[in-house]
Structure 1
């Protein structure tokens, strides 16, 4: 259980780093008025950024870490962003 708890903590840390480090500008520039495409690709980039080091660390340590970490990172990204407001940007 300790290993799994550390795994989730590592995903949370990665998601927080992704929210701070992944620049949304290129995604919104590329897709212009297609906001949904921009958001989707931006979130994909954030999720990949958060998941990559966790996958590397836990593959061979936790079963299916290479398979489910990216989808888990997305769920945690959305929870942190929407439920906690972490990394949210309000535009008026």
Structure 2
């Protein structure tokens, strides 16, 4: 995670090693090479998901707990753009 210069946000840089690339799949997994996505840190991930669903977003997989630090998920918007959400769980 890189923190933005003003300290109000962070950007995640990720490199995936698997699975192998499958070109042209409109429902490609979040870790598809070349897939465009961005991750946002949020305060109430359940509320955000409810609001995004009303705008046509689709939850990909499940909302998961990552160790004791984050609740994470991916959503696909109506235009097919992937958005990752992360809620810190201190």
TM bin (shorter chain): under 0.3
* Structure with more relative contact order (C-alpha pairs < 8 Å, separation 6 or more): 1
Structure showing the higher strand proportion among its residues: 2
Q: TM (normalized to structure 1)?
A: 0.27
